[in-house]
Homo-oligomer: A and B are copies of this chain.
Amino acid sequence: MRTLDHPAREQMRLDAVLMALADPVRRHIACRLVESDHDQACFSFEVPVTKSTASHHFRVLREAGIIRQTYEGTSIMNALRREDLDARFPGLLDAVFRAQHLQHP
């Protein structure tokens, strides 16, 4: 079984989280996950980049601790690590999501 590395809750670094969310493509992915209550495969996100670039962005989000990725057949399902994020950096995710919505309604 293939596995993917995820940082533990205490290992999340604010640098990495803010850097990850500063990119518009990654923020779009993260905000889509905030909105939907169920996991989503990578291909279901409509991002204006190629497959390899999207793969890179998912990896950055995962290594920052923002998403959790699990293999599911040929797909990878992406879930927001909301509990971990809220515990480590309270209010941050909500604020970013709200800000994104205010700017791009």
A residues sitting closer than 8 Å to B (CB atoms) are 13-15, 17-19, 21-22, 24, 27, 88-92, 94-96, 98-100, 102-103
For this complex, 12 residue pairs linking A to B, each with C-beta atoms less than 8 Å apart, are A14-B27, A18-B18, A18-B22, A18-B27, A89-B98, A89-B99, A91-B91, A91-B95, A92-B95, A92-B99, A94-B95, A95-B95
Cross-chain contact B22 with A103 (CB below 8 angstroms):
no
Q: Which 4 residue pairs of A and B lie closest in terms of their CB atoms, listed nearest first?
A: A18-B22, A89-B99, A91-B95, A92-B95
- Which applies to chain A's interface (DSSP): helix, strand, loop or mixed? helix
Alpha-carbon distance between A22 and B26 when the two chains are bound, in angstroms: 14
Alpha-carbon distance between A72 and B78 when the two chains are bound, in angstroms: 51
The answer to whether A18 and B15 touch (CB under 8 A), given A95-B91, A99-B89, is no
